[in-house]
């Protein structure tokens, strides 16, 4: 019998450190015998990756930005996420809809009521249950002070259109994530990502051990190198 799929998303402001732990978690799940689909947003399909390039580098207003994000998400769900979940895979996705509410909603100040309408339109009708609006089974929120994240970005690659935003923008985004987490505490797991890398990994895997999704030994062996 095929095990049910798991849809797990990773969220946080730019520089939170989430991306550096996703591959380690994928390895831990694979070591346990699970098939893993590792993906990201915006992106994950050829069409969505093209939209990602527009979003990261072309100037546009908040509504255009939001429409492109949800267009990419719809294609991503239809082509990658829903088929993987139907096969019983673990889907690990670097950002999903919470990022839209945090960045376009809180960061840009765009109307969250409109975002909720777009969310319903883009995420409904693709699952086996046609009435289901697809949401993650778990969202791991890498919470970090804006100043710490900025220090990490300073030594990274050339910043894109979002990474180059001022600190105040990221404070609004961080608050947006906090509000999303407060509104869905059953779905969110907060990680203090200001700590050392191995401490962040311990926090991360302990969440999955408590849920019974990873064995303690497998989790310990799957950490980032």
Does 143 count as an annotated binding residue? no
Contacts of 203 by beta carbon, 8 Å cutoff, 6+ apart? 191, 192, 195
Does 111 count as an annotated binding residue? no
Strand order across the beta sheet in which 188-192 lies: 36-40, 90-94, 6-11, 138-143, 188-192
Does 223 count as an annotated binding residue? no
Does 211 count as an annotated binding residue? no
Does 14 count as an annotated binding residue? yes
φ, ψ of residue 159 to 5 degrees: the values are -70, 145
List, in sequence order, every beta strand (DSSP E) within the chain. 6-11, 36-40, 90-94, 138-143, 188-192
Helix (H) or strand (E) holding 207: helix 197-210
Does 15 count as an annotated binding residue? yes
Does 107 count as an annotated binding residue? no
Does 33 count as an annotated binding residue? no
Residue 36 half-sphere exposure, CB side, CA atoms within 13 Å?
Answer: 20
Helix and strand numbers, DSSP H then E, in the chain: 10, 5
Annotated binding site for ATP: 12-19
Annotated binding site: 12-19
């Amino acid at each position: 019998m095929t095990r049910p799929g798991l849809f797990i998303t990773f969220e946080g402001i730019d520089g939170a450190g989430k991306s550096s732990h996703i591959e380690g978690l994928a390895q831990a799940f694979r070591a346990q015998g699970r098939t893993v689909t590792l993906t990201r947003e915006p992106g994950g399909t050829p069409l969505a990756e093209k939209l990602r390039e527009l979003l990261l580098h072309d100037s546009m207003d908040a509504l255009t930005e939001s429409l492109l994000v949800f267009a990419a998400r719809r294609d991503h769900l239809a082509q990658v996420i829903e088929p993987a979940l139907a096969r019983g895979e673990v889907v690990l996705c670097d950002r999903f809809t919470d990022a839209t509410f945090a960045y376009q909603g809180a960061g840009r100040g765009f109307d969250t009521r409109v975002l909720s309408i777009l969310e319903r339109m883009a995420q409904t009708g693709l699952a086996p249950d046609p009435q289901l609006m697809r949401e993650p089974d778990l969202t791991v929120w890498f919470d970090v002070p804006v100043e710490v994240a900025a220090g990490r970005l300073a030594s990274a690659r050339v910043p894109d259109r979002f990474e180059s935003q001022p600190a105040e923008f990221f404070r609004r985004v961080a608050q947006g994530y906090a509000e999303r987490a407060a509104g869905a505490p059953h779905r969110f797991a907060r990680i203090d990502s200001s700590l050392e890398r191995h401490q962040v990994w311990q926090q991360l895997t302990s969440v999955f051990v408590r849920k019974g999704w990873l064995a303690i030994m497998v989790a310990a062996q799957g950490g980032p190198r």
